Amino acid sequence: MTADKRQQLVERARDLLSKQVVHWEAPAPWAQAQDESSSYRQLAVAVRQALAGDLGAIPTLRRVFGEPFFARTNSHNEYGLASLGLALLGDRESLEHIRGVMPINLNRETRPLALALLEEPTDLTPRSED
């Protein structure tokens, strides 16, 4: 993958995350009070950290895959947020979890994008002109 193609993918991932994270930042309509310790709020904070390049978000983003009921909804969109956040942070250790995400709802777009960012090597070697 060329550096330009990779940058396009990164920009697309960042745009998707920026648009989606607001749904987890706002109090859930079905919750009486969504405090700072709620798993949905923690996921939103971790996504914002990933957008800022903060590797400290990785453990929280991984919790979406490994901890039962952590920020879990019927839509499964939280897997897409976590996948893209981990991909932006270059967390190749999460590849198997991302590969296992069901391609439904938002994940139809986020899963292949996250996999492309993590699986495809980047061709950053300068091309010699003959």
Q: What is the pLDDT of residues 21-30, one digit of tens each?
A: 998 887 655 5
- How confident is the prediction for the chain on average, in pLDDT? 88
Summarize pLDDT for 20-79 with one digit per residue, the tens. 999 888 765 555 455 667 888 899 999 999 999 999 999 999 999 999 989 988 999 999
Instruction: Look at residue 92 and tell me whether its pLDDT is greater than 90.
Output: yes
Single pTM value for the model: 0.87
Contact 83, 59 (CB under 8 A): no
Alpha-carbon distance of 41 to 24, in angstroms, equals: 6
Alpha-carbon distance of 64 to 67, in angstroms, equals: 6
CA distances (Å), origin 7, targets 32, 76, 91: 41, 27, 17
